[in-house]
Structure 1
Amino acid sequence: MSDRFVWFEGIPFPTMGYKPELMREARDSFVFKDEDVLILTFPKSGTNWLIEIVCLIYSKGDPKWIQSVPIWERSPWVEAEHGYNSLKDKEGPRLISSHLPIQLIPKSLFNSKAKVLYLIRNPRDSLVSGYFFYSNSNFTKKPESLEQYFEWFIQGNVLYGSWFDHTCGWMSMRGKENFLILSYEELKRDTRSTVEKICQFLGKKLEPEELNSLLKNSSFHAMKENKMSNFTLLHDYSLVEKNASLMRKGITGDWKNHFTVAQAEAFDKIFQEKMADLPRELFPWE
């Protein structure tokens, strides 16, 4: 499988825009500032939705910024070549995105007061979402079937490695005052209350009309229509096929439409084994 991955410290990365030497430099030398905000997820967990929400918190619900600047420029990826190079020289408070496991994140994070938003999602839904997205991508190995991708996922042979290792690693930070755990499921179930919780964590306050504007402009429909957020700009770089959409369904529980009974049972067994040391209430899905 290594022919369609870039490897760094045993973790697979996309083949375009990622260089092991720069990821090593970022891990060892990148400096997090106390006023930075890090948006952290495993792939296909609602990352871009959370980025959009945080951007709209900063702009007080005004959509001009999110409608004029690509999402990866607003909150650059620290592990990607383009993102790392733009973040290094950026002044003032920075929004930073990452899918990195805890052992590869820039070490300076742990000595800073930078605020971390860690968004988790039912891994079954992340698996299904990943299958459909990577099937139309040109920057990683394409799965031939959901059955094949299911096996890759449970083995950790997917971009950024094992969901279980990623989640167990970052959950070790829970309880720290600068680390907020969120779930895609609670964000879907009660977006308004979850956004208010994020505002409180970031020390921001929105007026009722600003919050309403945020909710409207970060909705699935609004993001699907916003070319600065829906990744259709990537068609110009041939990173994804013309018919590929980052915004597919935006729902919870879609895995039930795709898993076989045997797959569901196998996944449950692995989940119970791998996550046995963590409290069940951390995972608010069925």
Structure 2
Amino acid sequence: MDRMEVTETFAGISLPGHLHTKESLHFATTFPFRDSDVLIVTYPKSGTTWMQEILTLLYSAGDVRPAKTIPNWVRAPWLEQIYFKDTLQDTAGHRLITTHLPARVLAPALQQSKAKVIYVARNPKDVAVSFYHFHRLAKFLPDPGSFDAFLLQFLEGTVQYGSWFEHVKGWLGQRQALDIFYVTYEELHQDLRGAAEHLGTFLGLPLGPETLDSLERHCSFAAMRDNAMANYSLIPCEIMDHSQGRFMRKGVVGDWRQHFSPRQNALFDRVYQREMRDAALRAPWSMA
């Protein structure tokens, strides 16, 4: 498959060349956002697919047909990926767009508009575990080696898509300049309906009980895992080795405890405290 072994480097970040080129990345940084655009921002494996489904249901007023008939990468295409220009629907209303890019790369373009940003964060220990398993599945990402080796790269910020710490702190730092709704994976897990109501308020969408009921049903982990429009089962095995597991693996909170050794956990805690001690981060997750 095209550029499967290529690593693209942009603004000091390594990215899979199968999905990104210098041209597509430059286009992302100069994209003319509209005031009506809604941008989903995440570090990989932090709840991106979940938020794409939630917003689809909110904007369809609970009608599941778009979520069950249109792939999520068409409903909310990735700004920095090579197919974005050909996929984005040039509608008069809102456009849902997704990105993994850090704030230092994307914020200057965003600040030229009143586009709304929805940032989803997740416990970095769970992110590291999920990202490791995704590397084993995705053939366009490097072989992660052992979990121990991968975890060191994650903490150093040398994995593809860069540093989790930089990503979260960078976007948090834009809260005065951009219209940002910040939510965590753990909050979605704890109270999906309540989080959806807050999102509806942020987006100016009135949500009736029928919409929320439909959203709760369709956006459960089990429903998304079985939805071919969301679970990436449509991706050919040459790109994702489905024999290595599912894209939607567990969808739980705290799975890191099944993977971290005491030594790994102590190292992670030291780095986390050093990197995040001055960050104004609302983090409803347990690091213990």
TM-score tier by shorter-chain length is: over 0.9
8 Å contact kept, 1:18–1:80: yes
CA distance in 2, matches of 1:177, 1:205: 23
Q: Is 1:193 equivalent to 2:194 in the alignment?
A: yes
Instruction: Work out whether 1:284 is the aligned partner of 2:267.
Output: no
Give the TM-score normalised by structure 2: 0.93
The letter for the 2-side match of 1:19 is T
Distance 1:252 1:61 in 2: 26
The alpha carbon displacement at 1:157 in A equals 1.6
**1:24 CA drift (Å):** 1.2
Question: Which residue in 1 is equivalent to 2:256?
Answer: 255
Q: Distance in 2 between matches of 1:118 and 1:189?
A: 17
Amino acid at match of 1:74: R
- Please say if residues 101 and 166 of structure 1, whose CA atoms lie closer than 8 Å, have aligned partners that are also in contact: yes
1:9 maps to what in 2? 11
Consecutive unaligned residues of structure 2, counting only runs of 5 or more, are none
Superposed CA offset, 1:186-235 (max 9, x none): 11011111111111101011211221011101111111111010001112
Match of 2:225 in 1: 224
Task: Tell me, yes or no, if structure 1 residue 145 matches structure 2 residue 118.
Answer: no
CA contact (8 A) 2:71 2:229 kept: yes
Return the match for 2:24 from 22, 29, 32. 22
- Which deviates further from its counterpart, 104-113 or 222-231? 104-113
Cα distance in 2, alignment partners of residues 197 and 140 from structure 1: 35
**Is the counterpart of residue 271 in structure 1 residue 283 in structure 2?**
no
Q: Secondary structure at the match of 1:229?
A: coil
The question of whether the paired residues in 2 share the 8 Å contact of 1:35 and 1:114 is answered with yes
SS of 1:81 mapped into structure 2: coil
Cα separation, 2, equivalents of 1:79 and 1:279 = 28
1:26-105 equivalence runs, <5 A: 26-28=28-30, 30-87=31-88, 90-92=90-92, 93-105=94-106
Whole-angstrom distance in 2 between the partners of 1:95 and 1:182: 17
Quick check: 2:137–2:247 contact (8 Å CA) kept in 1?
A: no
Conservation of the 8 A alpha-carbon contact between 1:76 and 1:95: yes
Amino-acid identity (%): 40
Q: Aligned partners of 2:188 and 2:147: how far apart in 1? A: 27
CA contact (8 A) 1:174 1:181 kept: no
SS at match of 2:83: helix
Following TM superposition, by how much is the alpha carbon of 1:106 offset from its aligned partner in structure 2, in angstroms? 6.4
> For 1:62-92, what per-residue CA distance to the aligned partner results, in whole angstroms no more than 9, with x for missing partners?
11000000000000000001124433x7232
Displacement of 1:175? 4.8
Check the 8 A contact 1:37/1:96 in 2, yes or no.
yes
Inter-partner Cα distance in structure 1 for 2:113 and 2:80: 18
Tell me what 2:134 maps to: 133
Aligned amino acid, residue 206 of structure 2: K
Instruction: Measure the CA separation in 2 of the matches of 1:124 and 1:22.
Output: 30
Aligned residue identity for 1:15:
G
Contact 2:15 2:161 in 1 (8 A): yes
Write out per-residue CA displacement over residues 23-72 of structure 1, whole angstroms, 9 at most, x where no aligned residue. 113212x1000000000000000100011000000001111000000000
Letter of the structure 2 residue corresponding to residue 283 of structure 1: A
* Amino acid in structure 2 at the alignment position of 1:203: G
4+ residue segments displaced more than 4 Å: none
- Find the counterpart in structure 2 of residue 173 from structure 1: 174
Residue 89 of structure 2 corresponds to residue 110 of structure 1:
no
Indicate how the Cα distance of structure 1 residues 4 and 283 shifts in structure 2: closer, same or farther if over 3 A, else same.
farther
Hey, what's the Cα distance between the residues in 1 that align with 2:162 and 2:179? 25
**Structure 2: how far apart are the matches of 1:10 and 1:202?**
33
Instruction: Say whether the 8 Å CA contact 2:27–2:80 is kept in structure 1.
Output: no
Q: Is the 8 A contact 1:53 1:214 kept in 2?
A: yes
- Rounded Cα–Cα distance in structure 1 between residues aligned with 2:28 and 2:267: 37
User: Using the alignment, how far apart are the partners of 1:69 and 1:199 within structure 2?
Assistant: 22
Kept after mapping to 2: 8 A contact 1:136/1:142: no
Equivalent residue, structure 2, for 1:156: 157
